[in-house]
Amino acid sequence: MPSVVIVGAQWGDEGKGKITDFLARDADMVVRYQGGANAGHTVVVDGVTYKLHLVPSGIIHGKTCVIGNGCVVDPETLLREIEYLHGHGVDTQGRLWISDAAHLIMPYHQRLDALQEQLRGDQRIGTTGRGIGPAYADKAARTGIRVGDLLDEALFRQRLERNVRQLNDLMHRVYDSEPFDVRAIAEQYLDLASRLRPYITDTAALINEALDQGRRVLFEGAQGTMLDLDHGSYPYVTSSYPSAGGACIGAGVGPTRIDHVIGVAKAYTSRVGDGPFPTELDDEIGEWIRQKGREFGTTTGRPRRCGWLDAVVLRHAVQVSGLGGLALVHLDTLGGLERVRIASAYEYRGQRLERLPHGAHQLAQCRPIYEELPGWDEDISSARRFEDLPENARNYVRRVEALVGVPVQLLSIGPDRAQTIALDDVFAAAARARGAGAR
Ligand code: IMO
Ligand code: MG
Protein backbone atom coordinates (compact mmCIF):
# COMPACT_ATOMS: atom_id res chain seq x y z
CA MET A 1 0.00 0.00 0.00
CA PRO A 2 1.33 3.40 -0.90
CA SER A 3 2.80 6.05 1.34
CA VAL A 4 2.77 9.71 0.39
CA VAL A 5 4.74 12.66 1.73
CA ILE A 6 3.09 16.10 1.64
CA VAL A 7 5.66 18.90 1.67
CA GLY A 8 5.51 22.66 1.50
CA ALA A 9 7.13 23.80 -1.75
CA GLN A 10 7.60 27.45 -0.75
CA TRP A 11 8.23 29.34 2.54
CA GLY A 12 5.55 27.62 4.62
CA ASP A 13 1.85 28.42 4.97
CA GLU A 14 1.09 26.75 1.64
CA GLY A 15 -2.07 25.03 2.85
CA LYS A 16 -0.55 21.69 3.80
CA GLY A 17 -3.23 21.21 6.48
CA LYS A 18 -6.04 21.41 3.97
CA ILE A 19 -4.33 19.07 1.50
CA THR A 20 -3.51 16.61 4.29
CA ASP A 21 -7.13 16.67 5.41
CA PHE A 22 -8.29 16.06 1.84
CA LEU A 23 -5.98 13.06 1.34
CA ALA A 24 -6.47 11.76 4.90
CA ARG A 25 -9.93 10.57 3.91
CA ASP A 26 -8.24 7.72 2.01
CA ALA A 27 -5.39 7.17 4.48
CA ASP A 28 -5.04 5.08 7.63
CA MET A 29 -2.33 7.02 9.40
CA VAL A 30 -1.04 10.60 9.34
CA VAL A 31 2.44 11.44 10.62
CA ARG A 32 4.12 14.75 11.45
CA TYR A 33 7.87 14.30 11.03
CA GLN A 34 9.52 17.61 11.94
CA GLY A 35 8.97 21.04 13.41
CA GLY A 36 6.86 21.95 16.37
CA ALA A 37 4.17 24.43 17.27
CA ASN A 38 5.74 26.93 14.86
CA ALA A 39 3.43 25.35 12.30
CA GLY A 40 -0.13 26.54 11.86
CA HIS A 41 -2.34 24.21 9.87
CA THR A 42 -5.88 25.28 9.14
CA VAL A 43 -8.58 22.80 8.16
CA VAL A 44 -12.16 23.78 7.35
CA VAL A 45 -14.79 21.06 7.48
CA ASP A 46 -18.47 21.84 6.91
CA GLY A 47 -17.87 25.48 7.76
CA VAL A 48 -16.04 24.69 11.03
CA THR A 49 -12.45 25.95 11.13
CA TYR A 50 -9.82 23.93 13.03
CA LYS A 51 -6.41 25.44 13.70
CA LEU A 52 -3.71 22.93 14.57
CA HIS A 53 -0.06 23.45 15.44
CA LEU A 54 1.32 20.06 16.40
CA VAL A 55 -1.33 17.36 16.08
CA PRO A 56 -1.53 16.03 12.50
CA SER A 57 -4.50 17.29 10.50
CA GLY A 58 -5.72 13.70 10.00
CA ILE A 59 -7.07 13.69 13.56
CA ILE A 60 -10.25 15.41 12.38
CA HIS A 61 -10.98 12.39 10.17
CA GLY A 62 -10.46 10.07 13.14
CA LYS A 63 -7.27 8.61 11.66
CA THR A 64 -4.35 7.27 13.67
CA CYS A 65 -2.02 10.23 14.07
CA VAL A 66 1.63 10.33 15.01
CA ILE A 67 3.95 13.07 16.22
CA GLY A 68 7.25 11.60 15.07
CA ASN A 69 10.72 11.61 16.58
CA GLY A 70 11.82 14.48 14.30
CA CYS A 71 9.39 16.88 15.99
CA VAL A 72 10.01 19.11 18.98
CA VAL A 73 7.19 19.00 21.49
CA ASP A 74 6.06 21.68 23.88
CA PRO A 75 3.94 19.55 26.24
CA GLU A 76 1.82 22.43 27.49
CA THR A 77 0.90 23.57 23.99
CA LEU A 78 0.23 19.98 22.96
CA LEU A 79 -2.09 19.31 25.89
CA ARG A 80 -3.93 22.56 25.18
CA GLU A 81 -4.37 21.42 21.58
CA ILE A 82 -5.64 18.01 22.73
CA GLU A 83 -8.20 19.75 24.99
CA TYR A 84 -9.20 22.02 22.12
CA LEU A 85 -9.85 18.95 19.98
CA HIS A 86 -11.86 17.25 22.73
CA GLY A 87 -13.87 20.47 23.03
CA HIS A 88 -14.73 20.12 19.34
CA GLY A 89 -15.80 16.50 19.78
CA VAL A 90 -12.61 15.10 18.21
CA ASP A 91 -11.32 12.07 20.10
CA THR A 92 -7.57 11.54 20.60
CA GLN A 93 -7.31 8.59 23.03
CA GLY A 94 -5.87 5.57 21.28
CA ARG A 95 -5.58 7.61 18.08
CA LEU A 96 -2.79 10.05 18.79
CA TRP A 97 0.75 8.83 19.45
CA ILE A 98 3.82 10.83 20.41
CA SER A 99 7.32 9.54 19.84
CA ASP A 100 9.36 8.89 22.96
CA ALA A 101 12.38 10.06 20.94
CA ALA A 102 10.96 13.49 20.06
CA HIS A 103 12.71 16.31 21.87
CA LEU A 104 11.01 18.52 24.43
CA ILE A 105 10.72 22.25 24.14
CA MET A 106 11.57 23.65 27.56
CA PRO A 107 10.70 27.09 28.95
CA TYR A 108 14.34 28.12 28.53
CA HIS A 109 14.19 27.39 24.80
CA GLN A 110 11.47 29.96 24.38
CA ARG A 111 13.30 32.60 26.35
CA LEU A 112 16.54 31.87 24.44
CA ASP A 113 14.65 32.19 21.15
CA ALA A 114 13.55 35.72 22.12
CA LEU A 115 16.96 36.73 23.53
CA GLN A 116 18.82 35.48 20.45
CA GLU A 117 16.46 37.35 18.14
CA GLN A 118 17.09 40.54 20.15
CA LEU A 119 20.83 40.06 19.80
CA ARG A 120 20.53 39.60 16.04
CA GLY A 121 19.08 43.10 15.72
CA ASP A 122 18.32 43.95 12.10
CA GLN A 123 19.63 40.52 11.05
CA ARG A 124 16.90 38.80 13.01
CA ILE A 125 15.26 35.76 11.43
CA GLY A 126 11.74 36.66 12.47
CA THR A 127 11.15 33.36 14.26
CA THR A 128 7.79 32.34 15.64
CA GLY A 129 9.24 32.59 19.17
CA ARG A 130 8.26 29.02 20.01
CA GLY A 131 11.76 27.95 21.06
CA ILE A 132 12.28 25.84 17.93
CA GLY A 133 15.88 26.84 17.11
CA PRO A 134 17.22 26.46 20.67
CA ALA A 135 15.46 23.08 21.11
CA TYR A 136 17.02 21.66 17.93
CA ALA A 137 20.36 23.21 18.93
CA ASP A 138 20.21 21.25 22.20
CA LYS A 139 19.34 18.12 20.24
CA ALA A 140 22.40 18.54 18.00
CA ALA A 141 24.56 19.42 21.00
CA ARG A 142 23.34 16.21 22.67
CA THR A 143 21.99 18.04 25.68
CA GLY A 144 18.33 17.80 24.70
CA ILE A 145 15.68 16.18 26.88
CA ARG A 146 13.37 13.76 25.10
CA VAL A 147 9.69 13.01 25.56
CA GLY A 148 10.52 9.52 26.84
CA ASP A 149 12.70 11.05 29.59
CA LEU A 150 9.53 12.46 31.14
CA LEU A 151 8.59 8.91 32.11
CA ASP A 152 11.63 8.48 34.34
CA GLU A 153 11.42 11.14 37.04
CA ALA A 154 14.97 10.74 38.40
CA LEU A 155 16.53 10.84 34.94
CA PHE A 156 14.41 13.81 33.92
CA ARG A 157 15.38 15.79 37.03
CA GLN A 158 19.04 14.96 36.53
CA ARG A 159 19.11 16.14 32.91
CA LEU A 160 17.11 19.23 33.70
CA GLU A 161 19.40 20.18 36.58
CA ARG A 162 22.50 19.79 34.43
CA ASN A 163 21.04 21.99 31.68
CA VAL A 164 19.65 24.69 33.94
CA ARG A 165 22.90 24.96 35.92
CA GLN A 166 24.82 25.75 32.72
CA LEU A 167 22.08 27.93 31.37
CA ASN A 168 21.78 30.08 34.47
CA ASP A 169 25.43 30.91 34.16
CA LEU A 170 24.77 32.05 30.60
CA MET A 171 21.69 34.01 31.67
CA HIS A 172 23.75 35.85 34.23
CA ARG A 173 26.96 36.48 32.28
CA VAL A 174 25.74 36.98 28.72
CA TYR A 175 22.09 37.94 28.67
CA ASP A 176 21.66 39.79 31.94
CA SER A 177 18.47 37.80 32.36
CA GLU A 178 16.74 36.13 35.34
CA PRO A 179 17.85 32.62 36.36
CA PHE A 180 15.55 29.64 35.76
CA ASP A 181 14.01 27.77 38.68
CA VAL A 182 14.77 24.05 38.24
CA ARG A 183 12.21 23.00 40.80
CA ALA A 184 9.36 24.95 39.25
CA ILE A 185 10.15 23.59 35.77
CA ALA A 186 10.43 20.03 37.09
CA GLU A 187 7.06 20.23 38.88
CA GLN A 188 5.38 21.74 35.84
CA TYR A 189 6.78 19.19 33.39
CA LEU A 190 6.26 16.15 35.61
CA ASP A 191 2.64 17.17 36.06
CA LEU A 192 2.23 17.52 32.29
CA ALA A 193 4.00 14.17 31.88
CA SER A 194 1.35 12.34 33.87
CA ARG A 195 -1.25 13.59 31.38
CA LEU A 196 0.87 12.84 28.31
CA ARG A 197 1.91 9.36 29.43
CA PRO A 198 -0.89 7.44 27.62
CA TYR A 199 0.12 9.00 24.29
CA ILE A 200 3.85 8.24 24.42
CA THR A 201 5.23 5.24 22.52
CA ASP A 202 7.84 3.98 20.05
CA THR A 203 6.23 5.54 16.99
CA ALA A 204 8.82 4.34 14.45
CA ALA A 205 7.73 0.78 15.25
CA LEU A 206 4.07 1.80 14.97
CA ILE A 207 4.53 3.39 11.53
CA ASN A 208 6.62 0.53 10.14
CA GLU A 209 4.07 -2.01 11.38
CA ALA A 210 1.31 -0.05 9.66
CA LEU A 211 3.31 -0.10 6.41
CA ASP A 212 4.01 -3.83 6.85
CA GLN A 213 0.27 -4.41 7.17
CA GLY A 214 -0.36 -2.57 3.92
CA ARG A 215 -1.88 0.53 5.47
CA ARG A 216 -1.83 3.89 3.72
CA VAL A 217 0.42 6.34 5.50
CA LEU A 218 0.53 10.08 4.87
CA PHE A 219 3.46 12.16 6.06
CA GLU A 220 2.40 15.73 6.79
CA GLY A 221 5.22 18.21 6.39
CA ALA A 222 5.35 21.47 8.28
CA GLN A 223 7.09 24.66 7.11
CA GLY A 224 8.43 24.43 3.54
CA THR A 225 11.41 23.69 1.31
CA MET A 226 12.68 27.26 1.49
CA LEU A 227 12.70 27.02 5.30
CA ASP A 228 14.67 23.74 5.26
CA LEU A 229 17.84 23.93 7.34
CA ASP A 230 19.96 22.56 4.47
CA HIS A 231 17.94 23.34 1.34
CA GLY A 232 16.26 26.64 2.23
CA SER A 233 17.35 30.27 2.09
CA TYR A 234 19.91 29.85 4.87
CA PRO A 235 20.18 31.42 7.43
CA TYR A 236 16.55 32.59 7.12
CA VAL A 237 15.23 29.09 7.74
CA THR A 238 13.82 26.96 10.52
CA SER A 239 16.00 24.44 12.36
CA SER A 240 14.55 21.20 10.96
CA TYR A 241 14.14 19.40 7.63
CA PRO A 242 10.74 20.09 6.05
CA SER A 243 11.79 18.62 2.68
CA ALA A 244 10.78 15.06 1.88
CA GLY A 245 13.97 13.40 3.14
CA GLY A 246 13.05 14.70 6.59
CA ALA A 247 10.14 12.25 6.62
CA CYS A 248 12.53 9.29 6.71
CA ILE A 249 14.67 10.57 9.56
CA GLY A 250 11.82 12.24 11.41
CA ALA A 251 9.51 9.23 11.34
CA GLY A 252 12.00 6.37 11.35
CA VAL A 253 11.12 4.85 7.97
CA GLY A 254 13.55 3.97 5.20
CA PRO A 255 13.52 5.91 1.90
CA THR A 256 12.47 2.75 0.05
CA ARG A 257 9.11 2.94 1.83
CA ILE A 258 8.16 6.34 0.40
CA ASP A 259 6.25 6.03 -2.88
CA HIS A 260 5.23 9.54 -3.78
CA VAL A 261 5.84 13.15 -2.77
CA ILE A 262 3.34 15.92 -3.44
CA GLY A 263 4.42 19.54 -3.04
CA VAL A 264 1.89 22.10 -1.87
CA ALA A 265 2.22 25.56 -3.39
CA LYS A 266 0.08 28.66 -3.47
CA ALA A 267 -0.73 30.12 -6.88
CA TYR A 268 1.35 33.06 -5.64
CA THR A 269 4.03 33.24 -2.92
CA SER A 270 3.87 34.30 0.72
CA ARG A 271 6.45 34.52 3.43
CA VAL A 272 6.23 35.36 7.10
CA GLY A 273 9.42 36.34 8.89
CA ASP A 274 12.52 38.05 7.55
CA GLY A 275 14.88 37.24 4.69
CA PRO A 276 15.00 37.73 0.91
CA PHE A 277 11.91 37.14 -1.23
CA PRO A 278 12.57 37.99 -4.92
CA THR A 279 8.95 38.16 -6.13
CA GLU A 280 7.64 40.15 -3.15
CA LEU A 281 5.11 42.85 -4.03
CA ASP A 282 5.36 46.00 -1.96
CA ASP A 283 2.48 47.61 -3.82
CA GLU A 284 -1.31 47.56 -3.86
CA ILE A 285 -1.39 44.18 -5.64
CA GLY A 286 0.57 42.66 -2.73
CA GLU A 287 -1.86 44.21 -0.28
CA TRP A 288 -4.81 43.03 -2.37
CA ILE A 289 -3.52 39.43 -2.33
CA ARG A 290 -2.94 39.66 1.46
CA GLN A 291 -6.52 40.77 2.09
CA LYS A 292 -8.20 38.46 -0.40
CA GLY A 293 -6.04 35.47 0.58
CA ARG A 294 -6.43 36.22 4.33
CA GLU A 295 -2.66 36.17 4.61
CA PHE A 296 -2.22 36.61 8.35
CA GLY A 297 -0.25 34.03 10.36
CA THR A 298 -2.14 31.19 12.07
CA THR A 299 0.56 30.91 14.73
CA THR A 300 1.63 34.51 15.34
CA GLY A 301 -1.05 36.61 13.61
CA ARG A 302 1.67 38.46 11.66
CA PRO A 303 0.67 39.87 8.24
CA ARG A 304 2.38 37.73 5.60
CA ARG A 305 4.51 39.21 2.84
CA CYS A 306 2.94 38.41 -0.54
CA GLY A 307 4.18 38.26 -4.12
CA TRP A 308 3.95 36.50 -7.49
CA LEU A 309 4.50 32.81 -8.01
CA ASP A 310 8.18 31.88 -8.25
CA ALA A 311 8.91 28.94 -10.56
CA VAL A 312 12.60 28.94 -9.58
CA VAL A 313 11.56 28.15 -6.00
CA LEU A 314 9.18 25.42 -7.15
CA ARG A 315 11.77 23.77 -9.42
CA HIS A 316 14.11 23.73 -6.42
CA ALA A 317 11.42 21.96 -4.37
CA VAL A 318 10.95 19.42 -7.18
CA GLN A 319 14.67 18.73 -7.11
CA VAL A 320 15.37 18.44 -3.39
CA SER A 321 12.16 16.63 -2.46
CA GLY A 322 11.64 14.56 -5.61
CA LEU A 323 8.14 15.95 -6.12
CA GLY A 324 5.94 13.82 -8.36
CA GLY A 325 3.19 16.42 -8.47
CA LEU A 326 1.85 19.67 -7.08
CA ALA A 327 -1.18 20.66 -5.08
CA LEU A 328 -1.80 24.22 -6.30
CA VAL A 329 -3.89 26.13 -3.78
CA HIS A 330 -5.47 29.59 -3.49
CA LEU A 331 -6.08 29.76 -7.24
CA ASP A 332 -9.33 31.57 -6.40
CA THR A 333 -7.37 34.35 -4.69
CA LEU A 334 -5.79 35.47 -7.98
CA GLY A 335 -9.20 35.91 -9.63
CA GLY A 336 -10.03 39.56 -10.39
CA LEU A 337 -6.54 40.62 -11.48
CA GLU A 338 -6.26 41.88 -15.03
CA ARG A 339 -2.87 40.29 -15.55
CA VAL A 340 -0.93 37.76 -13.49
CA ARG A 341 2.79 37.08 -13.41
CA ILE A 342 5.09 34.13 -12.80
CA ALA A 343 8.84 34.41 -12.26
CA SER A 344 10.38 31.91 -14.66
CA ALA A 345 14.04 32.72 -13.83
CA TYR A 346 16.20 35.31 -12.03
CA GLU A 347 18.67 37.88 -13.15
CA TYR A 348 21.75 37.71 -10.94
CA ARG A 349 24.75 39.98 -11.56
CA GLY A 350 23.79 40.44 -15.19
CA GLN A 351 23.22 36.73 -15.83
CA ARG A 352 20.12 34.63 -16.24
CA LEU A 353 19.72 32.07 -13.44
CA GLU A 354 17.37 29.11 -13.78
CA ARG A 355 18.21 27.69 -10.35
CA LEU A 356 18.42 29.05 -6.83
CA PRO A 357 21.74 30.62 -5.86
CA HIS A 358 23.82 29.51 -2.86
CA GLY A 359 22.10 31.30 0.04
CA ALA A 360 20.10 34.25 1.29
CA HIS A 361 22.87 36.75 0.56
CA GLN A 362 22.86 35.90 -3.16
CA LEU A 363 19.08 35.48 -3.30
CA ALA A 364 18.72 39.06 -2.07
CA GLN A 365 20.52 40.21 -5.23
CA CYS A 366 18.28 38.27 -7.62
CA ARG A 367 15.70 40.10 -9.73
CA PRO A 368 12.81 38.02 -11.02
CA ILE A 369 12.32 37.64 -14.76
CA TYR A 370 8.56 37.56 -15.26
CA GLU A 371 6.15 36.04 -17.70
CA GLU A 372 2.81 37.78 -17.87
CA LEU A 373 -0.48 36.00 -18.47
CA PRO A 374 -4.02 37.34 -18.83
CA GLY A 375 -6.05 37.08 -15.61
CA TRP A 376 -9.65 36.01 -15.04
CA ASP A 377 -12.50 37.88 -13.45
CA GLU A 378 -14.92 35.11 -12.65
CA ASP A 379 -15.37 33.78 -9.13
CA ILE A 380 -14.11 30.21 -9.41
CA SER A 381 -14.66 29.17 -5.80
CA SER A 382 -17.65 26.98 -6.62
CA ALA A 383 -16.07 25.15 -9.57
CA ARG A 384 -15.99 21.38 -9.08
CA ARG A 385 -14.16 20.25 -12.21
CA PHE A 386 -11.12 21.57 -14.04
CA GLU A 387 -13.30 22.13 -17.11
CA ASP A 388 -15.50 24.51 -15.09
CA LEU A 389 -12.64 26.99 -14.75
CA PRO A 390 -12.34 29.98 -17.10
CA GLU A 391 -9.88 29.46 -19.91
CA ASN A 392 -7.31 31.91 -18.52
CA ALA A 393 -7.27 30.15 -15.15
CA ARG A 394 -6.76 26.79 -16.88
CA ASN A 395 -3.95 28.28 -18.97
CA TYR A 396 -2.33 29.59 -15.81
CA VAL A 397 -2.33 26.11 -14.27
CA ARG A 398 -0.95 24.57 -17.47
CA ARG A 399 1.79 27.20 -17.62
CA VAL A 400 2.80 26.44 -14.00
CA GLU A 401 3.11 22.76 -14.89
CA ALA A 402 5.27 23.57 -17.91
CA LEU A 403 7.58 25.87 -15.94
CA VAL A 404 7.91 23.56 -12.95
CA GLY A 405 8.04 20.26 -14.80
CA VAL A 406 5.52 18.23 -12.75
CA PRO A 407 1.75 17.84 -13.08
CA VAL A 408 -0.75 19.66 -10.89
CA GLN A 409 -2.58 16.80 -9.16
CA LEU A 410 -4.81 18.79 -6.83
CA LEU A 411 -6.25 22.25 -7.20
CA SER A 412 -7.72 24.23 -4.32
CA ILE A 413 -10.17 27.03 -4.97
CA GLY A 414 -11.24 27.86 -1.42
CA PRO A 415 -10.66 26.86 2.20
CA ASP A 416 -13.38 24.22 2.44
CA ARG A 417 -12.70 20.56 1.89
CA ALA A 418 -15.29 20.56 -0.89
CA GLN A 419 -13.42 23.31 -2.74
CA THR A 420 -10.78 20.91 -4.01
CA ILE A 421 -10.46 19.60 -7.56
CA ALA A 422 -8.62 16.31 -7.99
CA LEU A 423 -6.92 16.13 -11.39
CA ASP A 424 -5.32 12.85 -10.40
CA ASP A 425 -5.81 10.20 -7.73
CA VAL A 426 -2.76 10.83 -5.54
CA PHE A 427 -2.73 7.37 -3.91
CA ALA A 428 -3.15 5.73 -7.29
CA ALA A 429 -0.18 7.79 -8.54
CA ALA A 430 1.79 6.52 -5.54
CA ALA A 431 0.80 2.94 -6.31
CA ARG A 432 1.90 3.46 -9.93
CA ALA A 433 5.24 4.83 -8.74
CA ARG A 434 5.67 1.79 -6.48
CA GLY A 435 4.91 -0.53 -9.37
CA ALA A 436 7.47 1.22 -11.57
CA GLY A 437 10.05 0.99 -8.78
CA ALA A 438 9.46 -2.73 -8.36
CA ARG A 439 10.28 -3.52 -11.95
P1 IMO B 1 3.63 26.04 8.54
O2 IMO B 1 3.73 24.60 8.93
C3 IMO B 1 5.46 29.86 7.75
C4 IMO B 1 9.31 30.72 9.66
C5 IMO B 1 9.34 31.86 10.65
C6 IMO B 1 10.77 32.33 10.47
C7 IMO B 1 11.53 31.02 10.27
C8 IMO B 1 12.17 30.47 11.54
O9 IMO B 1 2.40 26.72 9.00
O10 IMO B 1 3.89 26.20 7.09
P11 IMO B 1 11.21 29.25 13.70
O12 IMO B 1 10.19 29.71 14.72
O13 IMO B 1 10.82 27.99 13.00
O14 IMO B 1 12.60 29.20 14.24
O15 IMO B 1 11.22 30.43 12.60
O16 IMO B 1 10.59 30.09 9.78
N17 IMO B 1 8.29 29.68 9.93
C18 IMO B 1 7.16 29.54 9.24
N19 IMO B 1 6.62 30.29 8.26
N20 IMO B 1 4.82 28.76 8.14
C21 IMO B 1 5.35 27.96 9.09
O22 IMO B 1 4.82 26.75 9.38
C23 IMO B 1 6.54 28.36 9.72
N24 IMO B 1 7.31 27.86 10.72
C25 IMO B 1 8.38 28.66 10.82
O26 IMO B 1 8.41 32.86 10.32
O27 IMO B 1 10.88 33.06 9.27
MG1 MG C 1 2.25 28.85 9.26
Q: Is 40 in the pocket of ligand 1 (CB under 6 A)?
A: yes
**Pocket probe mutation, ligand 1, options 128, 236, 363, max atoms within 8 Å of Cβ:** 128
Residue 438 predicted with pLDDT over 80:
no
Which whole-number Å values give the CA distances from 338 to 100, 278, 414, in the listed order?
Answer: 53, 22, 20
**Pocket probe mutation, ligand 1, options 50, 116, 223, max atoms within 8 Å of Cβ:** 223
Query: 286: pLDDT confidence band, cut at 50, 70 and 90?
Result: very high
| Nearby residues of 221 by Cβ (< 8 Å), 6 or more positions away | 5, 6, 7, 8, 16, 33, 34, 242, 243, 244, 246, 247
Residue 47's pLDDT is 87
Query: 435: pLDDT confidence band, cut at 50, 70 and 90?
Result: confident
Q: Is 175 helix (H, G, I), strand (E, B) or coil?
A: helix
- Say yes or no: domain 3-93+202-428 is CATH 3.10.20.30: no
How close is the Cα of 391 to the center of ligand 1, in Å? 35
Q: Which CATH architecture has domain 103-199?
A: Orthogonal Bundle (1.10)
Residue 289 predicted with pLDDT over 90:
yes
Q: Is 407 in the pocket of ligand 1 (CB under 6 A)?
A: no
- What pLDDT, in 10s, does the model give residues 165-201? 999 999 999 999 999 999 999 999 999 999 999 999 9
Q: Is 266 helix (H, G, I), strand (E, B) or coil?
A: strand
Cα–Cα distance measured from residue 262 to residue 410, given in angstroms and rounded to the nearest whole number: 9
Residue 299 predicted with pLDDT over 90:
no
| Concatenated DSSP letters of 25-73 | TT-SEEEE-SB-TT--EEEEETTEEEEESSS-GGGGGT-EEEE-TTBEE
Kindly list the domain boundaries of the chain, sorted by start residue. Answer: 3-93+202-428, 103-199
Cα–Cα distance measured from residue 342 to residue 399, given in angstroms and rounded to the nearest whole number: 9
Q: Are 92 and 86 in contact (CB under 8 A)?
A: yes
| Concatenated DSSP letters of 184-240 | HHHHHHHHHHHHHGGGEE-HHHHHHHHHHTT--EEEE--S-GGG-TTTSSTTSS-SS
Domains 3-93+202-428 and 103-199 share a fold: no
Q: Is 52 in the pocket of ligand 1 (CB under 6 A)?
A: no
pLDDT-above-90 percentage for the chain: 95
pLDDT higher for 46 or 101? 101
Residue 439 predicted with pLDDT over 70:
no
- What pLDDT, in 10s, does the model give residues 129-153? 999 999 999 999 999 999 999 999 9
Cα–Cα distance measured from residue 135 to residue 113, given in angstroms and rounded to the nearest whole number: 9
Residue 1 predicted with pLDDT over 90:
no
- Residue 177 burial (CB count, 10 A): 15
Cα–Cα distance measured from residue 41 to residue 69, given in angstroms and rounded to the nearest whole number: 19
pTM: 0.97
Q: Is 58 in the pocket of ligand 1 (CB under 6 A)?
A: no
Type of residue numbered 32: R
- What pLDDT, in 10s, does the model give residues 38-74? 999 999 888 899 999 999 999 999 999 999 999 999 9
| Mean pLDDT of the chain, nearest integer | 96
Q: Which of these, 239, 240, 236, lies nearest to 276 by C-alpha position?
A: 236
Residue 93's pLDDT is 95
Cα–Cα distance measured from residue 385 to residue 368, given in angstroms and rounded to the nearest whole number: 32
Q: Is 403 in the pocket of ligand 1 (CB under 6 A)?
A: no
Residue 350's pLDDT is 96
Q: Which of these, 312, 318, 319, lies nearest to 346 by C-alpha position?
A: 312
- What pLDDT, in 10s, does the model give residues 351-369? 999 999 999 999 999 999 9
Per-position b or e across 214-250, b if 16+ CB within 10 A of its CB = eebbbbbbbbbbbbbbebbbbebbbbbbbbbbbbbbb
How close is the Cα of 242 to the center of ligand 1, in Å? 10
Atom of ligand 1 nearest to the CA of 222: 2
